[in-house]
Amino acid sequence: MSDYVGAPRKRSILRLAALAAAPSLIASALGNLATMPNIPGWYEGLAKPPLNPPNWVFGPVWTILYILMAYAFFRILDLPASRQGRGAAILAFLLQMALNAAWSFAFFAAHSPLAGLIVIFALDAAVVATIIVFARLDRVASYCLWPYAAWVTFATYLNAALWTLNR
């Protein structure tokens, strides 16, 4: 009998995990679509700031960050739908994920460090807002976004430096 009772919960958790992973997978796929064709040629031709990591660093870092984001979102989605603040947390997360994907199009696809800088400033604010609303609901979910906030802050430095060096 316990296997029968556990099977629906297991299917429910798998559906929830897929739903939680979807924004990260979509943002990652869209970001790669906008970024990868523009690394050879345009990006390689830009003057780079100090502390600019080699290109191979970005893939592993973003993979880890997207996994952490998906897990954080899973924890929020797993809260009861009636939980006060859950809807706002979901909206905040989805907004910052949209900005995450938009940055790649603004910076890489449009070949515009200035447009990227505008988007990344909005992304910085959206990530902080998401951390705040997540913290009110689930501290672990909030903590999972701290490495992402640190990386986006570092990316803001890189973006600003690239804009300054290449105008």
pLDDT tens for residues 11-28? 799 999 999 999 999 999
Query: pLDDT tens digit string along 37-75?
Result: 999 999 999 999 999 999 999 999 999 999 999 999 999
Query: Judging by beta carbons within 10 Å of its beta carbon (0-12, 13-18, 19+), is residue 4 exposed, middle or buried?
Result: exposed
Read off the pLDDT of residues 88-135 as tens digits, 9 standing for 90 and up.
999 999 999 999 999 999 999 999 999 999 999 999 999 999 999 999
User: What pTM did the predictor assign?
Assistant: 0.91
**What pLDDT does residue 114 have?**
98
Q: Which CATH superfamily is 2-165 part of?
A: TspO/MBR protein (1.20.1260.100)
